[in-house]
Each structure stands twice: as C-alpha cells, then as structure tokens.
Structure 1
C-alpha cells in the first residue's frame, strides 16, 4: 500500500506533492486548450483553492477531431501514496448544446455504488473539489474564447483498477478503480487527515446503508477476528488503524447503534491509558501504569517490579497468563471506559475485543 520514501534526514523538509484532483485539473486544462487552439500547453499551469499556481509537465497528449487527451504523472512528493507515479488522464470533448459540464469515469476510475459519500450513487468517484476545479478551468477557457461550457470530461487512470485494491474504495462501495481526490490540491507528506477522512466516510456509508453495528480495529488480524465474531459485512468494518480518537469523535456526532473496537493487547493498553492516537511514534505503553493494573489484580510484588522494566506489553501479558492474572480482561474494561468517555454520552452500545497476534480471542468486554 505504501512505497519507499527517501531518507532525507532530519535537516531536510519532506517534499509535498499533488493530489489526483490537481493532476486531473491540469490534464483537463491542457486537453481543452488543445481542443480549442490546436496547441498543448506544456507545462500547464493551474490555480489551486488556496491560490498556489503549480505547473505540470505533460506525459502524453493526443488530439482528434472532437476530443483531446492529456496524461499527467502524479507526483506525491515524499508521501507514501499508493497513486504516486500513476498517470492521470483527461479526455475532453465538446458535448450537446445546453448539457453543461459532464464528468465520466474512464478506465481505472471508480463508480460510487453506495450512499453516504459526497458523490451520488451511479456517478464517477470524482470528489466535489476536483469537480469544481475542473469546472472552473472549463468555464474560464470557454468564456475567453466565446464558447458555451458544454463539455464532457472523462477521467481515467490506466493502473487504477489495480491500485484501488490497495485502498479503502472496495469497502466504501467505490468499484472499478480509484477516486479522484483532494481538497487543497496538495499532498502533505504523512498527513493523518486523509486516513481520518476515510474513517469518517466509512461511518457515513455505514449509516446511509442501514448498518446498525460497525467495528473499528487496529489491524488486519483483529479485524478478521472481530468480523468473524459478529458475522459483520465488510461495509461495517471501519479502517480505524491507530486513529481511535478520530473515529470516536465522529461517531459522537454521527452515532451508530453498536460499535466494536478490536485490537492487540499493546494497542488497547494505550487506549486504556487514555491515548486516542495509538501509533507507536505518538504514544507508548506506560509500564508503570501497567504495573499498577497488575497490583489491582493482586499480582505479587516481584512481578509488579519486573513489569516496570519490561521490554514489551506482550512479555507482560505472557507472564500474567502464566500466573492466571486476567490482565487482558482488565485492560479491555479500562479501554471501554476511556472510549465511552470520548463518546460523551452518545447513545452507542460499545464493546472491546482484545486479539492475540495469532488471531486468538484474549478478552472481550461488553457491559450489560
């Protein structure tokens, strides 16, 4: 799902890149310019929502009698973006008088099949901001040449169908390829915003399709176990990852009847401590805290002291199991209490599932 990122060192800033929406806009502008004038601008410059004016070199171009095609290679900078290096193509054609601007999904661009997304079911998975950027380009060029903006824009990504398998699109009901995304046109390396945005859209789709039980898990192992425990459809599974807080805050405002959080012991220890970002670079298991929890379970003094200097939460878990101390059950309850507090009174039935590395059920806490 990711690509290798240059190790640029602490003193060098990470390079920003361009969204698929920005690339599609640039390709649309170059194609329409050629259709009107017979000449492809190379590079082609566009204006982004915040006023930046990047220029994009053309990777391919073709001009016919009533259509023009331009391809631009997406540069995601130093972000581990699955679409980095993909060609984003725009084919532009003049349409029937009065049709306005029509967007179509070409090869490798998905089609929306479930409600709850910003785009209506049956339409090309081209998000609102990229649509607006492309519409602005068409309207400006047509106005400058005394033409009506009756244009059909078909966006395609030759490798999009394969790339989509590495994204959340199939789960969200976007079939046939990737989405054309972006709100600013700029990719900020390692931004958490895109991941959290996808969690939000997953909740929207689940609500719109009538799902009453959704689950957010920290990884594929816990997700497989939770899905099997409750016999949940794929559309009910939210890609929470490390962003428990991002999921819970959105659920607080957009509740679902039943929510399950599943994860490994160490991740859920961090949730039980009150961390809402479970990434290893942003939160750590507090072994003094873990030792205090073992004391609550009447662990002996020696084990408590060993826990304070333990290397991993897994090592502590194994020792606790040998001593028949239910630390996983205890952590599950504490994680539930922290998550429930984050929901701030939202009418949601919440349960916690702790899963071992081999996919075994370690603990399950469900009040009532």
Structure 2
C-alpha cells in the first residue's frame, strides 16, 4: 500500500504551532500535534528549534510519503514574532518562499505565496494556542524554505509569476501518492493567470518539444502556455468551467493518439496507444502493417513511408474528443500533433 505524506501547508502549520507555543512558554512541543481538515490530527517531529528574545523558530522536514514530490525532504521553517495589537495573524515570505507578482492567483499581487487554506490552518492553530495560554494572538508568521528558491525552478512558479521561491500549498494537508494534485493545481492556476492577463489564446503542451512548437507557431507568450504533461483532462475540464476564447492542445504523436481514443490521462501507466484505432484510420495494406507495429512511433514511421497523413487523422479525432469534453463552453479548440524532432505532423482546427 502506498504511504501518504503531508503538504507544505501542514508542515508549516506544525512549525507555526510549535514556534508560537515556545514564544509564549519557552518550551517547544515535540512532537507537535495539529488539526487538519477531515478530522486528521497528525503529530510532527521538530527538525530544528530556536528561541530568541522576541521570536521563536521551529522547523519540520516535509515527508511526501511515496509521492514523487519535488519538496520531499525540504525543511519548512516558521518564525513567529509579536505583531501590533489587534493585527491578528500576518504572514511574511522568508527565504525560499515566493511572492505573487501576477494577477489571477488566489492571493493579491505582493502577497507571500502562502495559499488560503494553509493560511487558515495556521491562523486557527495560532488561535488555539492563544486561547490555551491566554494570549491575544497578534503575531507575524514568517515561513521559510532554505532550499526553496532552487526547488521552485522545478515547479510552475516562475511561469505563474511567483518569484523568489516555493508556494506553501495544500487543501487537506495530505499528499496522496501519485495523485499529482500539485501539478493539476498548477495547471488551474496557469489558466487563472492567463485569463487575468487577458490572453485570448492559451495552449496546453505535453512536454518541452511540443511547447516550443506551439509557441513558435502562434507566437504565444510564456504566460499563455500550460505545462499540461499527461493531464489533458485537467486542462479541458478547468477551461470548460473557466473559458478562454481559444485553446490549443499540443503533444507528441503517441499522447495525442491516446487523446484521440478518448483518454484524458495520457500517462503510459494509465492509458495505452490503441494500434487498432490507428490502423482503422489508414488504407490497406498500410492498416495491416500499423496493426502489427511495435509502437506508436513505428506506426507513424510506417505511415510517413507510405505517404499517408496519419497525424492529421489523429489530430481530427483528438480535436473532436476535446471539443466534446469542452462542450458547451464557448471555447474554440485546435490540436497540434508533433513528432520527436518538433515537427508538426498533424493539425486540426487551427
């Protein structure tokens, strides 16, 4: 059974609880228990603690469980200081935590990239500690991730206009292995930023080769490009609820073949290329040869040798399926099919 982990938001809440408790009592609770959504009450061991005259700092090592999370093993620090009377809980971005610089995110421009749910969890934790020890609960909470700026380069943050480090994320506090919830959330935030910037045309690409091809073809700025990966369904479903006038889906021949077959998750572990479907698009004797092909790439090569535009057939079917998912949203969709060299081998709707 796959092991669950904890979000950066849950770790920040634990560190904040411990730091604020130490600020009031002089002692760090270790392990420190926190209340998360859905009734969970995990306990976190502290990796570091420091008590100064006017502040306290506690740190928790993020455990993402069995999920391949870029922040697994990162140190999440919270430094708590006294705030102005009546100020409540104020958040600041420390080293390695980003700052919002573009509209369209769930936080105003200029705010630390600490998402709303983690903010709520930390605020509630401060209130519980304040009530327990008879304090007003007016504090400044500074979240830091020492490796955050380097780790953020492996995330969507620079493209989303979150500069200087990571975002503190999480809605339930729990990381579900291989749910790729952070990637899907980044897709959604990418759409939000594109809409806020007024882009009329956005593109979701399965990888860097297809992204370069679609950007070059349409002259799209980086903020209009969505790093879709295998999550075509996440793009289509979110754009259906939050429409843009035009959406391009771009990807390699194999992945677009899966979309053409009606798959929304294009990962090799969760969907396979349907060679029978590809064969059905071609005339004989090519169809028989495609049916016996080793891979989608082999099928493409056979078709190119025979002079048959199978990429166009795949693009047409993929676009029809994408349009069915988007309906009835007012979104014009087109599809680009790219080969491994970055050449466009199929276009539909463009």
TM-score range, shorter chain: over 0.9
Q: Distance in 2 between matches of 1:72 and 1:288?
A: 51
Shift of 1:312: 0.7
Alignment match, 1:229: 217
Question: Aligned partners of 1:192 and 1:68: how far apart in 2?
Answer: 34
**1:57 positional shift:** 1.2
Which whole-Å CA distance do the structure 2 matches of 1:116 and 1:321 have between them? 43
8 Å Cα contact 2:105/2:192 also seen in 1: yes
List runs of 5+ in structure 2 lacking aligned partners: none
Q: What residue is the counterpart of 2:326 in the other structure?
A: 343
Could you tell me how far apart the structure 2 residues matched to 1:52 and 1:232 are?
A: 44
Partner residue, 1:352: 335
Structure 1 residue corresponding to 2:62, chosen from 58, 62, 74 = 74
* TM score, norm. by length of structure 2: 0.97
User: Residues 76-107 of structure 1, C-alpha deviation per residue, up to 9 Å, x if partnerless?
Assistant: 11110000111000000011111111000000
CA shift, 1:362, in A, is 1.5
Residue 150 (structure 2) aligns with: 162
Query: For 1:141 and 1:342, how far apart are their aligned partners in 2?
Result: 47
Aligned to 2:298: 315
Pick from 277, 293, 302 the counterpart of residue 289 of structure 1. Answer: 277
**2: CA distance, partners of 1:284 / 1:113:** 40
Shift of 1:316: 1.3
- Size of the alignment, in residue pairs? 350
* The one of 326, 329, 344 aligned to 1:361: 344
Query: Which segments of 5 or more consecutive residues in structure 1 lack a partner in the other structure?
Result: 1-12
Structure 1 residues 224-260: Cα deviation after superposition (integer angstroms, max 9, x where no partner): 1111111111111112111112211111121111111
Name the CA distance, whole Å, in 1 between partners of 2:180 and 2:121: 24
- Would you identify which runs of 4 or more consecutive aligned residues in structure 1 move more than 6 Å? none
| Residue in structure 2 matched with residue 9 of structure 1 by the alignment | none
Deviation at 1:195, TM superposition (A): 2.3
Range 161-170 or range 223-232, more displaced: 223-232
Distance in 1, matches of 2:269 and 2:99, equals 36
TM-score (norm 1): 0.93
1:198 aligned to which of 176, 186, 189? 186
Counterpart CA distance in 1 for 2:346 and 2:292 is: 24
In structure 2, what is the Cα distance between the partners aligned to 1:131 and 1:53? Answer: 17
Structure 1: distance between partners of 2:329 and 2:120: 35
- Cα deviation, 1:293-343, whole Å, max 9, x if unaligned, reads 00xxxx233x22221121111111111111111111121111111111111
Cα offset, 1:65, TM superposition:
1.1
User: Is the CA contact (8 Å cut-off) linking 2:281 and 2:287 kept in structure 1?
Assistant: no
Paired residue for 1:257, among 245, 256, 261?
A: 245
Shift of 1:349: 2.0
Q: 1:151 — aligned with what?
A: 139
Structure 1 counterpart of 2:52:
64
Residue of structure 1 equivalent to 2:13: 25
